[in-house]
Structure 1
Amino acid sequence: MAAAPSALPDSVQAALKQANIPAANIGIYVLPVDSDQPALAYGEDRSMNPASVMKLLTTFAGLDILGPAYNWKTEIYVNGPVVDGVLKGDLILKGYGDPELTVERFWLMLRELRQRGVRDIRGDLVLDKHFFATEPHDPGAFDNQAFQPYNAGPDALLMNFNVAPLRLVPLPEQRSVTVQPEFSLTTLTLRNGLKLDNATCGDWESRLNVQVSPTPAGAVVDLSGPFSSTCGEKQLNLSFLRNGDFIYGLFKQLWSESGGSISGGFKAGEVPASARLLVTKTSPPLAVVVRNINKFSNNVMARQLYLTIGAEQSGQPGSRENAGATIHTWLAGRGLNFPELVVENGSGLSRIARISPQHLADLLIAAYRSPVFSELESSLPIVAVDGTMRRRMKDDGVAGHAHIKSGSIDGVKTIAGYVFDSKGRRNVVVCMINHPRASAGRGVQDALLEWVYNRP
């Protein structure tokens, strides 16, 4: 039952006025977990863009459908005999959508491969990505920021989130800035045109100009613009290489460092029946992975999980279509009917994703009553403590008393999660703002969280 506008707490109304956001552009729902009567409901039936709080649906569904102990795997096969350390054939890397296949874990796989007697590969590196369907992905389509890690696309062989970090080191005595790639990739050419100045560091990334020119062998990256000496060393995380170029470049570096060599290039393919499995590496359990998805709002990891749900339940390569169908079937099985729901990709990085505040609250209540609640709640950022909420509300009563997922894209600012109020009651809280001035709405969210914490 929707409350009248006057039922909004005075502090929330004041924050809306200060932000110049009309009340018609917000949706709020606050429900004690042991009650069917909301403590506050306003615009709760509005179909709204949830931004990254959509990850709550993806991670709850993943935990419930796949189980907290679910592991992804990555495999290495050889297709040919290995004689005196020489593989006379191709090396095949097969992925199953692991969101956390980091450089460190890939290095361990290659170390095991060396221990199994492979040194010189007289063939190609074959990349088997058939666990996910091949779907087009334009990393610049969302906001023209094609090289930002949050725009990276899912891949059955996602490596290190497809991110190649660059370390920027100011050298004041030389009036220059050095750029040190974390990985010495043969597929990357870096040209440094950065200029050192003494400005306030501030939002240092926004002052940089990054131009990426794809080449047949990888990419050329041109860095230019000012970088302040007051910043000290900074790490610039970019996703500027095509997935295959990145994997091959990283493989060549790590394999060479281990004393190995490869004579061929890389290509897409499948594991043939004649291939022999040599190395398998499993991911951390899903209960750990969802913490990294939600604490740090990692888009590509959420998309990996979404497609994995579709692949595992359909028995077909994971796609947005079979993942979406699985999610809707799962919701229906829990008696949750969300006719307005649009998920798109599972991460919330979307212009068309939709859910109402009340239905998101219904989902959180269902999670509270499920066996995987502990894993889900512990994956959410704690207000004023960690994750994306670590810098918020440090001097307020609610600090340390709420697990809250936040979301923010142009025109959208949202929060959803659980608040322990001052009387020890757990409350589900959802607040969505869809308005051109949504970015100014943080005070509205903070006022609501503090009101819930102090409510009678």
Structure 2
Amino acid sequence: MKYKDTILAGIFVNILMKLICFILLQLNVFSSGINKHIQSFRSAKGQEGIQVSVSIRSLNSGEQVYAHASEINLPPASTLKLVTTATALEYLGPTYKFETMIYSNGRVSSGKILGDLLIEGIGDPSLGSNRFKNNPFEQVLQSLKDNEIQTIEGQIRVLNNDTARFPLGWLVGDIGNYYGAFASPFNFHENLYTVYFNGGTKIGEPAGIASIKPFDPAWKIKNHVTTGPAGSGDQVNILNLPFSNEILMIGSVPLNAKNFAIKGAIPNVNKIFTDSLSSYLRQNGISVNNKIYPENLQNEELGSILSPDVFEISKETNFRSVNIFADGLANFMWDAEAPDYDTFLKDFWKEKGVDLSTHRFIDGSGLSPMNTLSTQNLSLILFKMKDQNRFLQTIPIAGKEGTVSSVAVNTGGKISMKSGSISGCRNYAGYFTSNLGKKYAFSIFVNGFHSDHSKAVRTFLEEFFVKMIAIKE
């Protein structure tokens, strides 16, 4: 019996060793193919200095099954939004709603507020956004009707919104543009306005402003935008600091363009909101008389404005890469817990077994080029979130949805991912199902390339995604 047992054990060990060798061979073949693809890309003329970092992690074991320079710190760009939304869904919960309070500054008598109507925000980044059905003006109107108020004798004022919350690590050239709109305790309409330009009939001619919506007559706009070649697209940059009415517009719009839309960041969102709300209330039978009252009259709660839930905000954040949503979520979370978002995020994920101590987080959106993250830690966070179905639903399917609808179209909908790009960076992160049906988290950062290499980078990434889902494990 002992002899037979020895023979059987030997056969079993032999089969096991062959199986292990087969698996290792398959992984080596996969790794070799990906490595050759990366080496071929980086060996092309002028592309030697481009950095490529990759982490692919099994959702079954949590182990990295492929890594290429996965430990280095690089700017994550908008893939950082995955970290911010994952944190918000875990910390706040998917059903959490922001509540913007409505008060009267003065007593209510005979259908009148004998004072001001006060609006106090706590950081809702989605208030007044056209992406949701929630209309804050309707909610204010309903609160007034519920309290049988027909007249506001004083003014409409926004409380506690005089703190600039934009990170000092942002580039000055970003702040005046919509994608650089900073999130405050009170936000409205994603803090954006739209400028409509008409291009000239000759290249180099001045481009005129047809209209601006919404608009504050106090803005002092210097329009230096000119006419560029036909089909040149949006080459306009808007420069201004928060709370400043000095706005400089430079760059170009296409030849013969009509009502060419450019988005800017509202520098004084309180004024835009109160003017818009006053107009809406008057149109709906509420008088706003703008009399001057003392600011320290007794406040009376009249109601509140509720936001969409955090899941809905997170989904829009990742599907459409909305910076102000990500930064608003980040600011709200760290404000009461830590001195900054960097500290908050590191403490939060440390408790979940992810060490982010070597990284730097300037914001929640990824706009700052000073943010740093490694692909291996990003894939680890994604692994930690693999069972959170609400988080998985916030990530668009490549080739079909969101900002990745035109990316990886040849992968059959097997990849869900978030894109990220700032100057010289093209990044992606998310989840995929291999051709064999196994599931993985992944992250790939391509960093340090010139605009002349953009086409080569796109080609490299498209081929990478096809190779990635072919993993055999």
TM-score (norm 2): 0.79
Q: Pick from 359, 362, 381 the counterpart of residue 380 of structure 2.
A: 362
Partner of 1:348: 366
Aligned 1:198-209 pairs, distance under 5 A: 200-203=230-233, 205-206=234-235, 208=236
In structure 2, relative to structure 1, the CA distance for the partners of 1:117 and 1:20 (3 Å cut) is farther
How many aligned positions are there? 432
1:211-235 CA distances to partner (integer Å, 9 max, x unpaired)? 769998x567779965544x56543
CA contact (8 A) 2:164 2:242 kept: no
Q: Pick from 70, 78, 91 the counterpart of residue 65 of structure 1.
A: 91
Q: Pick from 209, 212, 234 the counterpart of residue 181 of structure 1.
A: 212
CA contact (8 A) 1:119 1:261 kept: no
Q: Which is further off, 52-61 or 446-455?
A: 446-455
Aligned 1:204-223 pairs, distance under 5 A: 205-206=234-235, 208=236
CA contact (8 A) 1:378 1:403 kept: no
Q: Pick from 233, 243, 268 the counterpart of residue 269 of structure 2.
A: 243
Shift of 1:179: 2.4
Letter in 2 for 1:383: A
**Matched position secondary structure for 1:8:** helix
Q: Which is further off, 10-19 or 290-299?
A: 10-19
In structure 2, relative to structure 1, the CA distance for the partners of 1:151 and 1:213 (3 Å cut) is closer
Shift of 1:412: 2.3
Letter in 2 for 1:129: N
Q: Which is further off, 420-429 or 290-299?
A: 420-429
1:186-225 CA distances to partner (integer Å, 9 max, x unpaired)? 555779898889x52341x21x575769998x56777996
Letter in 2 for 1:16: R
Counterpart-to-counterpart distance in 2, 1:210 and 1:155: 20
**Matched position secondary structure for 1:144:** helix
RMSD: 3.7
Shift of 1:362: 0.9
Q: Structure 1 residue 386 and structure 2 residue 401: aligned?
A: yes
Shift of 1:117: 3.6
Counterpart-to-counterpart distance in 2, 1:213 and 1:346: 20
**Matched position secondary structure for 1:72:** strand
Partner of 2:389: 374
Q: Pick from 323, 331, 346 the counterpart of residue 299 of structure 1.
A: 323
Shift of 1:280: 0.9
Counterpart-to-counterpart distance in 2, 1:437 and 1:73: 44
Q: Structure 1 residue 144 and structure 2 residue 173: aligned?
A: yes
Q: Pick from 103, 111, 116 the counterpart of residue 90 of structure 1.
A: 116
**Matched position secondary structure for 1:364:** helix
CA contact (8 A) 1:186 1:249 kept: no
1:345-372 CA distances to partner (integer Å, 9 max, x unpaired)? 2211123211211111111111114xxx
Q: Structure 1 residue 330 and structure 2 residue 348: aligned?
A: yes
Q: Which has the larger radius of gyration?
A: 2
Shift of 1:31: 1.8
CA contact (8 A) 1:19 1:437 kept: no
1:299-341 CA distances to partner (integer Å, 9 max, x unpaired)? 11111111221246x3xxxx7x254433222212112222212
Q: Structure 1 residue 118 and structure 2 residue 145: aligned?
A: no
Partner of 1:276: 300
* Percent pairwise identity: 18
TM-score (norm 1): 0.81
